[in-house]
Amino acid sequence: MKRIIIFTLLSCVTLWAMAENRKYQLVILTKDGSKATYDLRLKPKITFDESNLVVTVNKIPTVYPMNQTVRFFYETAPGINGDANDDGSVDIADAVCVVNHVVGKDTPAFNINAADANGDGEVDIADAVHIVNYVVGKIDQLAPQRDMEQTDPE
């Protein structure tokens, strides 16, 4: 009975997260200290058998013995720095998204924390240039992502 309730709860949270189009991940912690994460956008299938928790992604199952699993939960997935349009990858569309934000155009999926690609604490045209340089291979990494307050362009 406990497994049915847990499975139902996990399924409801998964459906809610996908319906809200939010980036969440399933986290599984084991007694040996290892941590596994699954992006919910990949729609992991969670099942239980007699003594295992089984997570299947893209038809590939991973088995976690229940007696070795400490806990499992959902958390907000970290963003990718430079992924200004929040689609899961850094590409030219992100540079365009930053430019649109800077000039005041509507950017519905704008992630201000990821848009500060050069890490100077401001979102400006230099971030778009930084993203382009990254995409074309002129630089091999972007600045670490930082939290910024959401502000409206003036």
pLDDT tens-digit map of 35-84: 888 877 778 888 888 888 888 988 999 999 988 877 888 776 667 889 99
Rounded distance, CA 24 to CA 37, Å?
A: 10
Question: How high is the pLDDT of residue 148?
Answer: 53
Question: How high is the pLDDT of residue 151?
Answer: 43
Q: Is the model's pLDDT at 11 over the cut of 80?
A: no
CA 56 remoteness from chain centre: 18
- Structural fold of domain 2-76: SH3 type barrels. (2.30.30)
Question: How high is the pLDDT of residue 9?
Answer: 55
* Helices 92-102 and 125-135, axial angle in degrees (round to 10): 170
Residue (of 57, 66, 93) closest to 2 by Cα position: 66
Overall average pLDDT of the 130-154 stretch: 74
Question: How high is the pLDDT of residue 114?
Answer: 85
For the chain, the domains span 2-76, 79-154
Fill in the amino acid letter for 24: Y
Rounded distance, CA 34 to CA 28, Å?
A: 8
Q: Which residues of 103-142 are buried (b: 16+ CB within 10 A; e: fewer)?
A: eeeebeebbbbbbbbbeeeebeeebbbbbbbbbeeeeeeb
CATH architecture for segment(s) 79-154? Orthogonal Bundle (1.10)
The model's confidence at residue 110, banded by pLDDT at 50, 70 and 90, is confident
Question: How high is the pLDDT of residue 49?
Answer: 84
79-154 has the same fold as 2-76: no
